[in-house]
Amino acid sequence: MKPSFLYGALLTVLLCSSPHADSWHLAKDEDGIQVYLDDVAGSHYQRFRGVALIKASVLTLSDLQENLRVACKWLYGCASMRLLEIEGNSTWVYLTTDLPWPASPRDMVIRVQTERTDDGGMIRRLSAEADKAEQVPGLIRVTQLKGLWTLVPKGEQLTEVTYQLEAEPAGDIPSWLANQFVIDAPMVSLRTLRAVAERQGVRD
């Protein structure tokens, strides 16, 4: 099995909740990408959900997530990503961040659990497992994170992609930067993934 991601990051989620439910509100709708935000009980930070239709197959998108070198290029805030372990349907990935000033660099270990759906789609559940790798001096370890990627086929070369994430970033993050991140992370990640996937689809 190829190493499955993902971060994308930050880099998540309740599968049963809908972005159109009352608790979620549309924060940005631009370039075919919708970003929804929701408050998280007990946290100062909101969670996000980005949704986009991408003209590429589930297989193409899955491959772009599993190729960690490529994934780090389209995933917002990713500085580096490497495979730690694969066991069954779980993959552990070590990721470091590259976020705007004045945020200090962070690292995290993300467990990605992958399942395929009856309609040919895919769900990747993300969670932090902070003790899976040794602490690195100079990096702030993110210990609380959960998220979700869903790939839902809508046609032979059309997939609805959802990226959702909630996290406690550890350390101090200015409110303006946190507010910017929950918009930029899904918007930039999905826009860049779409560009890469649709170019890949043309070559295929």
* Sign (positive or negative) of CA dihedral 197, 201, 203, 204: positive
Residue whose token pair is 């550890």: 170
Q: How far apart are CA 121 and CA 115, in angstroms?
A: 9
pLDDT grade for 115, boundaries at 50, 70 and 90: very high
Please say whether the beta carbons of 50 and 38 come within 8 A.
no
pLDDT tens string 86-113: 999 999 999 999 888 788 899 999 999 9
Domains in the chain and their CATH numbers?
Answer: 25-203 (3.30.530.20)
pLDDT tens string 18-77: 444 459 999 999 999 999 999 998 888 899 999 999 999 999 999 999 999 999 999 999
